[in-house]
Amino acid sequence: MKRYLWSCLLMAGSMSAISAADPVEVSLRSRLQPYKGVELWKETSVSEKFNPSECAVILCDIWDKHWCESATKRCGELAPKAGEIVKKCRERGMFIIHCPSDTMDFYKDTPARQRMKDFTKVDFPKALALPDPPLPIDDKDGGCDDVPAPKMFRAWKRQHPAIVIDDAKDGVTDNGQEVFNALKAKGISNIFVMGVHTNMCVLHRTFAIKQMTRSGVKCVLVRDITDAMYNPASKPNVTHDEGTSLVIQHIEKFWCPTCLSKDLLK
């Protein structure tokens, strides 16, 4: 009887290990232009399987506080959801990279920060020449929809505490070179990007979508774990959520596909 129970325990452990390494099947949404020169885009979806060991999750600037109070509130709503996804992706074997820009002093003595500094430097390849049309929203005013609009200042000191950093496994950086070094060292060719703000940091940071796509890394934006800095008083004068949706569609057209977090939580 004891031998039987021990065999069952070994089998359960084996099944658990296999499950953790199983491919992650994700529905990728993109947009195509059937007729070149005609401003008509069609939504399209494809299913793709990802090997978790070849994937990283990048959390872009999900700070503890923002200079715009409405942005702080929305980030506070996203952070616990992001934390849940991070936990699941880590369990599946994905490498988690926390990228709260301008807060490296907070993490300077942590193993997760040191881990990112220890990877061997790898030169970026020649950047791919990709079209870079203007965004569909006007964010020149900073995108804050507070009334009255506050002055910009650096309000953040760390990543939102709802997202747990595993010092034994994760990395912390705000440097695209360090991210690229880690990807190459670990044989990672796919990154799932979540965070804020879609029209600013998520696109333009050195560790985020534009730089990594131009460097040949396959990016996927997790579209329900992101938010835009957009003020509905600015063009195209749509609601905040509609403005975020327009930016997501822009990314699907010109930069990378998107997915929903539920696929990563399966």
Q: What is the mean pLDDT of residues 113-124?
A: 98
> What is the domain extent for residue 110?
51-121+135-264
- At 224-263, the pLDDT tens digits run 999 999 999 999 999 999 999 999 999 999 999 999 999 9
Count of structural domains within the chain: 1
**9-33: burial string, b at 16+ Cβ within 10 Å, e else:** eeeeeeeeeeeeeeebebebbbbee
The answer to whether residue 255 is domain-embedded is yes
Residue 7 scores a pLDDT above 50: no
Percent of the chain with pLDDT over 70: 92
Q: What is the pLDDT of residue 16?
A: 41
Q: Determine, yes or no, domain membership for 110.
A: yes
Please report the sign of the dihedral spanned by the C-alpha atoms of residue 177, residue 178, residue 179, residue 185: positive
Torsion 105-109-112-117 (CA) sign: positive
- At 116, which helix (H) or strand (E)? helix 111-118
Query: In this structure, what CATH number is given to the domain that contains residue 79?
Result: 3.40.50.850
pLDDT band at 13 (very low <50, low <70, confident <90, very high): very low
User: What pLDDT sits at residue 12?
Assistant: 45
Does residue 6 form part of some domain? no
Work out the pLDDT band at 20, boundaries 50, 70, 90: low
Contact between 258 and 209 (Cβ < 8 Å): no
Asked, for residue 148, whether it belongs to a domain, the answer is yes
Each residue's pLDDT tens digit, 176-227: 999 999 999 999 999 999 999 999 999 999 999 999 999 999 999 999 999 9
Furthest C-alpha separation in the chain: 73
Decide if 252 is inside a domain. yes
pLDDT over 90 percentage in the chain: 90
- Single out the residue of 76, 70, 228 nearest to residue 146, CA to CA: 70
24 falls within a domain: no
With respect to residue 203, please indicate whether it lies within any of the assigned structural domains: yes
Residue 20 lies in a domain: no
